[in-house]
Amino acid sequence: MKAWQRLLAEWAGTALLLCVVIGSGIMAEQLSQGNAAIALLGNTLATVFALYVLIETLAPISGAHFNPCVTCFVAWKDQWPVLLSLAYVLAQLAGAACGAWLAHAMFDLDLFQWSNKIRTGPGQWLAESVATAGLLGVIVLSPAHKVASLVASYIGAAYWFTASTSFANPAAVFGRMMSNSFAGIAPESALGFMAAEVAGLVLAAVIFRFVQKHQ
């Protein structure tokens, strides 16, 4: 695939993923009548189904990263050119913002907004590190024909077993920061989540290198 095709796939895939995450959160909150568990369940199911479809359809084009941590890990492992890696990350961030705006447009909300939902604290930061490292481990260890189902299943589980509901993705943090909805995260909380995700990336890289040396 040509570089522009790969970047377009990353932009579109990330946009659609964030549209699903935010849009399903808005819908779930509207229908759950204040029951946060039901809202989170609806948000989880929509994300799992969408993630599976997006990976299955776009992986042959771009690898279906939709996540700067995944791109950085793959780029480090497979020695990608720096410019291509940077272009992937920029496409993902742009896609995340567009996905948030699309979700708002569909629900007749203000397009441009900031979240006021505070998500912070050592427990949530640890959860994001664990969720990110786990996601990268699943990607590396999964057979190629099972990546979509295993990644989607892992994210669905991590929504519930992590204190942070498993963003595990700096692009997701970026997009959700721009939505004052169920799935949002306040800008002042975003940096802590992103730093924790990078820590998870580093942890996954260290474990991967250690395992490689002892095979």
pLDDT (tens digit per residue) in 92-128: 999 999 999 999 999 999 999 999 999 999 999 999 9
The one-letter amino acid code at 68 reads P
Question: CB burial class (10 A; 0-12, 13-18, 19+) of residue 174?
Answer: buried
Q: What would the mean pLDDT of 32-44 be, rounded to a whole number?
A: 97
Determine the pLDDT at residue 2.
Answer: 95
pLDDT over 80 (residue 215): no
Please tell me the total number of residues recorded for the chain in this structure. 215
Determine the pLDDT at residue 214.
Answer: 73
Determine the pLDDT at residue 97.
Answer: 98
Q: What is the value of pTM for the model shown?
A: 0.96
Dist. CA 15–CA 9, nearest whole Å: 10
Query: 147 — phi, psi (to 5°)?
Result: -55, -45
pLDDT over 80 (residue 6): yes
Helix spans in 162-186 (H): 170-176
pLDDT over 90 (residue 1): no
Query: 183 — phi, psi (to 5°)?
Result: -90, 5
Could you tell me which CATH number the domain at 3-213 has? 1.20.1080.10
Task: Kindly report the number of other CB atoms within 10 A of residue 142's CB atom.
Answer: 15
Dist. CA 179–CA 37, nearest whole Å: 20
pLDDT over 80 (residue 205): yes
Q: What would the mean pLDDT of 205-215 be, rounded to a whole number?
A: 87
Query: Using an 8 Å Cβ cutoff, are 130 and 106 in contact?
Result: no
Q: What would the mean pLDDT of 136-148 be, rounded to a whole number?
A: 96
Query: Using an 8 Å Cβ cutoff, are 139 and 72 in contact?
Result: no
Percent above pLDDT 90 for the chain: 97
Q: What is the mean pLDDT of the chain?
A: 97
Structure tokens at 86: 């940077």
Question: CB burial class (10 A; 0-12, 13-18, 19+) of residue 32?
Answer: middle
Dist. CA 105–CA 157, nearest whole Å: 29
